[in-house]
Amino acid sequence: MFTALLGNIRAKKELELLVEKKAVPNSLLFTGLDGVGKKLFAKELAIALMYPDGCSQEIAQHIRKEAHPDLHLITPESKTGMHAIAEMRKLIDELFLAPFESKAKVFIIADAERMLPSSSNALLKTLEEPASDSYLILLSSKAEELLPTVASRCAKIRFSPLSEEDIFSLLEKWDKSSLGSKYIAALAQGSAARAYALAFHPLQRERSEFLCSLLSTSGISPGEMTRVFAKIEELFSKEEEGSLDWHKDVELLLAQIFMWYRDLYLLKMGGDPNLLYFLDKLPLLQKRCLYSFPSFDKLHDIFEKARLGIERNIKLKVVLEYLFLELGIL
């Protein structure tokens, strides 16, 4: 079923065995890094559940394109980035209706950790007493943030990051192998979705140039930082602040800044320059190495605090002020 999908051999075997034994639980939780294929796997599993005796390629494609009446994909609201209680109640009502065309109905809840407590509680009874011909698949990159009573009622399938070889093969498939593939594969951190965003985002090259210019300097004045913050908001946070897409943009920004300092640390310790992610910016890195910057252990602490600040919806400018002050840019 999953031969066309990259990576996650263990998850493939687990799911294939469940289907073969006709023992797929009605409630499943797919956990793992964002962008490693959880939704793709869920839709392939949906094909097997909805049509256990097989179906035409046309029907399978309708399911993959989310255009089948018995497949339901539920995503967070675009503005709040959360699953609304009204959407959960609608899902619950539809769970107990008979399928329209297939043998079963499948409901996929993306970013399940972004359910409000009221939404999670509304779903609990359904998880405890599921309909026999309906399946619920929760997708989450932060399963620890799910309501424990929700997570405990689902069979867990864990997904691993994709290998750099898998990311390289995707870049070649997308005809993007010549555009800094090593940099993209490293920054993607095993996520195909992040690799795609890096390869195709229209502002990615400008983002990279601006960041490298900014991070190679030291002692920027408060007045200049006003312009810097405005440029960062222009390049990195076009989505509405607090939305799911905004969070992903900002997480990518933090990852790029961290990679720069990882390269600085490598150079300072006399490492092989060929291992640099920003190899094309070697002169700028060497220039920045002349100034002091935090130890590698301290860097992890600084970036973790910045990441938590973003998760707690602290204003981006406040988080960046803290980050740049700790890194010695201000």
Rounded average pLDDT over 278-305: 85
**Confidence band, pLDDT 50/70/90 cuts, at residue 177:** low
Which of 197, 74, 48 is closest to 140 using CA atoms? Answer: 74
If asked whether residues 154 and 207 sit together in one domain, one would say no
**Confidence band, pLDDT 50/70/90 cuts, at residue 50:** very high
Distance CA 274, CA 116 (A): 46
If asked whether residues 153 and 212 sit together in one domain, one would say no
Return the CATH number at 34: 3.40.50.300
Looking at the chain, the whole-number percentage of residues with pLDDT higher than 70 is 95
Q: Are 74 and 91 in contact (CB under 8 A)?
A: yes
Residue ranges of alpha helices (H) inside the chain are 9-20, 38-50, 57-64, 85-95, 117-128, 148-151, 164-173, 181-188, 192-200, 204-215, 222-236, 244-268, 282-288, 296-311, 316-327
In terms of C-beta density within 10 A (0-12 exposed, 13-18 middle, 19 or more buried), how is residue 207 classed? Answer: buried
If asked whether residues 112 and 232 sit together in one domain, one would say no
Using one digit for the tens of pLDDT, what is the confidence trace for 103-122?
999 999 999 998 888 888 88
pLDDT at residue number 185: 80
If asked whether residues 85 and 213 sit together in one domain, one would say no
Rounded average pLDDT over 264-272: 88
* DSSP assigned state of 311: H
Distance CA 151, CA 52 (A): 27
If asked whether residues 277 and 149 sit together in one domain, one would say no
Rounded average pLDDT over 56-64: 95
Token couple for 208: 């990279």
4 lies in some domain? no
Distance CA 17, CA 19 (A): 5
If asked whether residues 147 and 282 sit together in one domain, one would say no
Give the total number of structural domains in the chain: 2
Token couple for 228: 């810097």
Q: What is the pTM of this model?
A: 0.80
Name beta bridge partners: 155: 28
Q: Which carries the bigger pLDDT value, residue 219 or residue 258? A: 258
pLDDT at residue number 132: 85
pLDDT at residue number 179: 52
Which range of residues forms the domain containing residue 120?
9-158
286 lies in some domain? yes
If asked whether residues 207 and 135 sit together in one domain, one would say no
Distance CA 130, CA 219 (A): 60
Which one of 126, 158, 190 terminates a domain?
158
Which of 1, 35, 31, 33 is closest to 15 using CA atoms? Answer: 1
**What is the layout of strands, in order, in the sheet containing 134-140?**
71-74, 105-109, 134-140, 27-31, 155-158
pLDDT at residue number 240: 66
If asked whether residues 141 and 239 sit together in one domain, one would say no
175 lies in some domain? no
Q: Which carries the bigger pLDDT value, residue 286 or residue 217? A: 286
212 lies in some domain? yes
Q: What is the number of other CB atoms lying within 10 angstroms of the CB of residue 241?
A: 12
- Only one residue has tokens 């920027």, namely 220
**Confidence band, pLDDT 50/70/90 cuts, at residue 211:** confident
Distance CA 141, CA 159 (A): 9
If asked whether residues 217 and 279 sit together in one domain, one would say yes
If asked whether residues 109 and 234 sit together in one domain, one would say no
Rounded average pLDDT over 253-263: 88
CA distances from 311 to 77, 99, 142, 189, 241 (A): 17, 38, 12, 19, 12
pLDDT at residue number 287: 84
- Only one residue has tokens 């959360």, namely 82
